[in-house]
A and B are shown apart, each in its own frame.
Chain A
């Protein structure tokens, strides 16, 4: 079974703090994604990566950056957390997007609260 893990289920940070959200997958997937999920807005793509050290902006990249130094790990960074970044953050991975048929496997999510 594919396993996608995220470093924390719940996180509370203060405004202005630097925040790291870590995601690890164990199935040698090429592609990894970071989403945020908010009530009434659904899943919105922040960043994705299709290879080590490669990254692409999604639909809402502002205020975020990412890092992919190793194939299995994809980190989401909030350089200076703000209250409007309070959300559920979901990481996902897929084998390859080149065929367009690959399912995404999601991690359990990190509920981040910024005070």
Chain B
């Protein structure tokens, strides 16, 4: 079966650092995506990890440990506009394709 877990909601202060965790259990694994979704809008791509380690992209970084079935998204120097839902998605093989299984999303609230 497929199971993706992430916290439902987090709050943080502007300028701070926040880490959003994601654990996954999938039958087969081919990488993990993070998406950002602002209220009323479509999800947009943030990062993709397939190898263990940290990928840094500006204020956002994403980490993966395949052996632990664990990933996190790290947001630095938080801004008010970072208030959004963050979706973790594990990519799994099915037939000749790979499809993502999404977690339920973490709603991040950044306050002044």
- Chain A contacts to B: CB under 8 angstroms: 4, 31, 33, 35, 40-45, 48, 50, 56, 58-59, 90, 97-98, 100-101, 103-109
Q: Which residue of A lies closest to B91 (CB)?
A: A100
Interface string of B80-110 (1 = CB under 8 A from A): 0000000101010111111111111100000
Docked CA distance A97–B28 (Å): 15
Query: A56-B95, A97-B98, A108-B42 known; 16 other A-B pairs, CB under 8 Å?
Result: A4-B42, A40-B8, A41-B104, A42-B102, A44-B102, A45-B99, A50-B96, A58-B99, A98-B97, A98-B98, A100-B30, A100-B31, A103-B33, A104-B33, A104-B45, A107-B42
Q: How far is the CA of A100 from the CA of B89 in the complex (A)?
A: 12
Chain A residues positioned under 8 Å from B98 (CB to CB): 97-98, 100
B94–A56 touching, CB < 8 Å: yes
A33, A41, A101, A105 pick with most chain B CB within 10 angstroms: A101
List residues of chain B with CB within 8 A of the CB of A4. 42
CA distance A56 to B48 in the complex (A): 24
Would A31 and B97 count as touching, CB distance under 8 A? yes
Q: Which of A44, A50, A109 contacts B42 (CB 8 A)?
A: A109
Most buried by B among A97, A98, A109: A97
* Proximity string of chain B (18-36) to chain A, C-beta cutoff 8 Å, 1 when within and 0 when not: 0000000000001101000
User: Which residues of the partner chain B approach A56 to less than 8 Å between Cβ atoms?
Assistant: 94-95, 97
